[in-house]
Chains A and B, each alone.
Chain A
Amino acid sequence: MGRAAKPHDALIAAIREAGGPIGGRELHRAIREAGQPESTWELWRAGLKDWIVLHPHVRVTGTGAAKRYRWGKPVSAKTALTHLAQRVKAPQWLREAWREVVAAGLKATGIGISPKLRAAQERQARIGAVRAVAELAIEVEEIAHNGADGGQIVKRIRNALAHKDLIPIGAAGQDTVFDPALHRIEVGDPKKGAPVFILRPGYSWRYRNEVMIIEHALVAKA
């Protein structure tokens, strides 16, 4: 092993060139043999040994004195993210949110995913959405033919949409109070809380922890 320019480079080189799992004592010996000063070992003991798990090539096994360090192929992006998330000093819910955002970002940018696979996933997602509409159309036509009335058809559609996490905002003809977050008015400018009735229901969509309005309900002054 040649002498590395920086202490951490020397430690990493010792693990990489060990040819297999290496314990603390062997590591100490290896950096001494590489001509590194004792301060390099002190750097390891002072904290680098705890952080080394974040190195994408280093696998750590065992605990305490039985810990072993091994050089390997780089870990996946997902594993690296898990390791990082474990070390964020924040409440669990915050860590979870942080990890989700980064994971979504990685996925969106396609890091670690082949373009062909990404294209296949996008295609499958589009087909899935189209298939859901087609299945609903098929079902409605079938039950209408087999004697379902309007109410039964609406119920069936609402249940099918609920499976896709689409939640109705009101029902046609229902009396309610105006809420600009959920409703849009056909004519006029009612104040929040004014009595209205629903002309056409709307839909919101729940995606993980987020609820978004897909269509506002159309209302008219009561």
Chain B
Amino acid sequence: MAEATQIIGIDFGTTTSFVATPEAGIVPLGTRAYLPSIAGVLDQRLLVGEAAAVLPPDRLIRSAKRAISDDKAHVVVGRGYGIATYPRDQVITAIFKEIAARARQSGSSLRTARTLRFGCPAGWNQDQRRLLLDLAKAAGVPIEGAELVEEPVAAAMEWLERQSGAGRRINGRLLAFDMGGGTLDVAVMDVDSDDGTPRIKVLASADTTIAGDALDEAIYTDIVAHYQLDLTCMNEPMRASQHILNLAIETKTRLSTDESYDIFPNARILGAEKLAPLRYERERFNDVFDPMMDVAESTVARALKPAGPAVGVDYVLLVGGMSRVPLVRQRLQAIFRHAEFIADYGTADEAVVRGLVTTGAGRRRRVVSRPVPVLSGATSGR
């Protein structure tokens, strides 16, 4: 049916990428709902998605999107082992090609869509936005008439449309807190739904790269300290390091919802006879996460500076995988005591792409661009 391909939303994320249509919702990209936004180099060939994910860590390219945010023309191959670089544009173009090919396999050709809507961070300037479309074009994705929607606006539209469908009219100030693996984006918006059609005006935004990946590193350090590991003395330090990082990532994921998590390291990889499990409790997890939330709070403060005081915020919208962590909500509730908190944890990762294909996201005249200068994060290098 022609209607099914009228509008297609593309969320090229730092960690995962999604495609959606208004009628069908999420379009599967291969055997998953998403494509891992990961690349890797094998025998001088560039691989993307799951094919790259199985490569050794020293050949992986993660968070290529961040290179646009940081205005870097090259990305590092093998974070932490970084000895080689690769042209950013080639990596992102390859990811877009894969997204387009997989969407086509699932019956949603990007070429036949009447309108393509891309998400982008609210903090991106015009050059960065243009670059995203140019890279999509280089991948064969038709960008004539394509629309760019700021990610927090898309996430807010997704929520607002659901509220509107339920007959609830939302008016007031909304703060979107989008914490993913690679970045934290905060945007302050004014929402007006008086005539039944939500309108959004972005007042200010701020971002930082201190997000989920930083928490992985912090848990990693904590595990190394707990077992008093000296990786330099090990036969295969890279293998041991990656094993601990995997344990740290799993710990973070599980403690997003569980109260405790038992870590069982592989003694053989870590060069030990036997290792007792480490019970990671919520309290310990919060202690490790606290410094990152300090940075998050200062990012929120920067976004609020031109927009007004925290007491004026009526709604706090939690988006992104990291928003599942209870400490995020606790810390923000201490700031926004009177605000209504909105979190749909089941689909937190999909909120942006679902929002891109809402009716409101396409009303470009109604989505007013941010009138204040972009506020970049101190840690983002911009």
Contacts and interface: CB of A to CB of B under 8 A. Distances in A.
Interface of A: 63, 73-79, 81-82, 85-86, 88, 92, 95-96, 99, 107, 111-121, 123-124, 127-128, 131, 142-143, 145-148, 152, 155-156, 159, 162-163
B193 to A, nearest CB: 11
A95 B277 CA distance: 50
Interface string B131-175: 000000000000000000000000000000100111110000000
Across the A-B interface, the 5 shortest Cβ-Cβ residue pairs = A116-B107, A112-B23, A124-B28, A120-B106, A117-B107
Contacts of A163: 257
A119 B276 CA distance: 47
A81 B1 contact: no
A117 B277 CA distance: 45
Contacts of A148: 262, 264, 277
13 contacts: A76-B3, A76-B6, A78-B22, A78-B359, A85-B165, A86-B196, A92-B166, A96-B165, A114-B5, A114-B108, A120-B28, A123-B31, A148-B277
A121 B24 contact: yes
B24 A143 contact: no
B226 interface: no
Contacts of B114: 73
A54 B7 CA distance: 20
B28 A78 contact: no
Contacts of A63: 195
A115 B165 contact: no
A156 B7 CA distance: 42
Contacts of B33: 124, 128
Contacts of A82: 161, 164-165, 359
A114 B167 contact: no
Interface string B26-49: 111001110000000000000000
Interface residues of B, number: 44
A86 B164 contact: yes
B372 interface: no
Contacts of B27: 117, 120-121
Contacts of B90: none
B380 interface: no
A112 B24 contact: yes
B166 A99 contact: yes
B71 interface: no
A118 B107 CA distance: 8
B165 A117 contact: no
A44 to B, nearest CB: 19
Contacts of A113: 1, 4, 21, 23-24
A146 B265 contact: yes
Contact of A147 (B6, B167, B274): B274
B286 interface: no
B105 interface: yes
A178 to B, nearest CB: 30
Nearest to B102: A120
B3 A112 contact: yes
B264 A121 contact: no
A156 B4 CA distance: 41
A198 B166 CA distance: 43
B267 interface: yes
Given A78-B22, A112-B23, A163-B257, 12 more contacts: A78-B23, A82-B164, A92-B168, A96-B167, A99-B166, A113-B21, A117-B106, A120-B27, A121-B24, A142-B264, A143-B262, A162-B257
Interface in B240-261: 254, 257-258, 261
A92 to B, nearest CB: 5
Contacts of A81: 165
Contacts of A77: 3, 23
B221 interface: no
A159 B258 contact: yes
Contacts of A143: 262, 264
Interface centre among B6, B25, B108, B165 (most CB of A within 10 A): B165
Interface string B72-87: 0000000000000000
Nearest to B196: A86
A64 B257 CA distance: 49
A131 B50 CA distance: 14
Contacts of B267: 146-147
Given A73-B6, A76-B23, A146-B267, A162 B258 contact: yes
Contacts of B1: 112-114
B266 interface: yes
A88 B196 CA distance: 14
A161 B264 CA distance: 19
Contacts of B196: 86
A124 to B, nearest CB: 4
A155 B114 CA distance: 50
A19 B107 CA distance: 33
Interface centre among B22, B167, B195, B267 (most CB of A within 10 A): B167
B234 interface: no
B55 interface: no
Interface centre among B24, B114, B164, B267 (most CB of A within 10 A): B24
Contacts of A85: 165-167
